[in-house]
Each structure stands twice: as structure tokens, then as C-alpha cells.
Amino acid sequence: MKKVTDYVIVISADATENERRAAAFIRDNIRLVCGKLIPIVNDTQPAVENEIVVGETNREKLDGLVINRYRDNSSGGVWEYFIKIISLR
């Protein structure tokens, strides 16, 4: 079983400020709990086995996975995301 500290966080090369903030939030909380600061890389880097993907990246094109997103216009147009764990083995 992989440890969360074995992962990297992937964001789009043109990630929004909120996506960058979300990635930093995840990384900082992993550091608080596990004591290790995992890297944040953009999706121009080659894919690796253990990734936490934040936002819309090119990884969806690589694995064919489509993640449904919706915009909550009642909250000023904030995008809502879902968290899924997927094994590509």
C-alpha cells in the first residue's frame, strides 16, 4: 500500500488561483499530518504512478477518465469538484 507521502500533486500549467490554493492546502495538510512536504508539479511533467490531481489537467486525456464538474452560479460562479480514488492498474 502506498503512503500519501509517496504521491505528487498535479495541477494544470495554467491552473487558476483557486486550484493552486487547493493544491497548496492539500500539500500543507499532508505535511502537518505526515511531516513531509510533497511536491506540486504541473501537468507538463510526465505522469507518475502516484498522483493527486487538482483541477482540470491533461491527465484526463491520458487515462480517459472524465470528471464531472459544475459551476455553482448561486455562489458567484465557483466550480465544484468531486474527489475520487481511481486505480489504473
The model's pLDDT over 26-84, given as tens digits with 9 standing for 90+, comes to: 999 999 999 999 999 999 999 998 999 888 888 877 766 666 666 666 665 555 655 66
Q: pTM of the entire structure?
A: 0.76
What's the confidence (pLDDT) of residue 77? 54
What's the confidence (pLDDT) of residue 83? 61
Name the DSSP letter for residue 41: E
What's the confidence (pLDDT) of residue 61? 74
What's the confidence (pLDDT) of residue 78? 58
First to last CA, the chain: 13
| CB distance 61 to 67 below 8 Å | no
Count of CB atoms situated within 10 Å of the CB of 23: 21
Q: Which helix (H) or strand (E) holds 17?
A: helix 17-34
Rounded-to-integer distance, Cα 46 and Cα 53, Å:
13
